[in-house]
Amino acid sequence: MATTRGERRARGSGPVSAEQIEQEAVRLFAEKTYPVIGMRDIGDAVGLLPGSLYVHISGKEDLLLRIVEKGIQNYVEAIGAAADSDDPAPQRLRAAFLAHFDVLGRTKEQTRVAFFQWTYLSPEKQGRIIALRQQYEDLFVRIVRDGVRTGEFRKLRSPRVTVLAFIGMLNNASEWFSPTGALSAEEVANELADNVLGGIQAR
């Protein structure tokens, strides 16, 4: 038998936090997408009436914005370490792939929301996300351009186009990668890195 909101509230272990609301919103947005989910759905998930949610959050769109910003920032911070390294460019690019899949393995649902549902935000809020996505892209572009400059990577007509091609592959991994699958996050990252490096390394 389904548990009612009142029953969930009665069984609750204490006050509901903004973090709990955010976690449930991530789960719901990932499962059903942002437009389908209403404040009542989020309230039901944490055992609060919709009106009580506004004690913790200012609105559904701001909740989505927070989820998306945190989701992309996770990747910027993780991949930034690889981009800033003094290692050879091929090692840095592999490290970036490994960092990407490490984050994906820990935050798959949030990644799906962050990479694919940010377009539901208003134009003003989308501008903030576009700037953050650009930071993410630029980290990879820097590694590839450094590799071309040092001769570790072959000359590319457009390093950015090359980067956009494999970023699309990385981002789409949230649709098929399983942290409990036959291959670990590290194994998948190395497999993809092998293929990308095989195509751009100087012979």
Specify the CATH number for 5-53; select among 1.10.1740.10, 1.10.10.60, 3.30.70.1710, 1.10.390.10: 1.10.10.60
* 39, 60 Cβ separation under 8 angstroms: yes
In whole angstroms, give the CA distance from residue 57 to residue 168. Answer: 32
Q: How does DSSP classify residue 201? A: B
For residue 161, the Cα-to-chain-centroid distance in whole angstroms is 21
Torsional sign, CA 27, 188, 103, 129? negative
Torsional sign, CA 144, 145, 146, 147? positive
CA-closest candidate to residue 53, choices 11, 9, 17: 17
pLDDT of amino acid 203 = 81
pLDDT of amino acid 55 = 81
Q: Where are the domains of the chain?
A: 5-53, 69-200
pLDDT string in tens for the chain (203-residue length): 344 444 444 334 457 888 899 999 999 999 999 999 999 999 999 998 877 888 888 889 999 999 999 999 999 999 999 999 999 999 999 999 999 999 999 999 999 999 999 999 999 999 999 999 999 999 999 999 999 999 999 999 999 999 999 999 999 999 999 999 999 999 999 999 999 999 999 88
Q: Angle formed by the axes of helices 60-83 and 89-106, to 10°?
A: 150
- Could you identify the residue written with the tokens 């991994």? 173
DSSP, residue by residue, 129-188: HHHHHHHHHHHHHHHHHHHHHHTSB---S-HHHHHHHHHHHHHHGGGT--TTSSS-HHHH
Tell me the pTM: 0.87
Identical fold at 5-53 and 69-200? Answer: no
Q: Please identify, in words, the CATH class of the domain defined by 69-200.
A: mainly alpha
CA-closest candidate to residue 144, choices 202, 185, 191, 76: 202
In whole angstroms, give the CA distance from residue 75 to residue 102. Answer: 9
pLDDT of amino acid 14 = 59
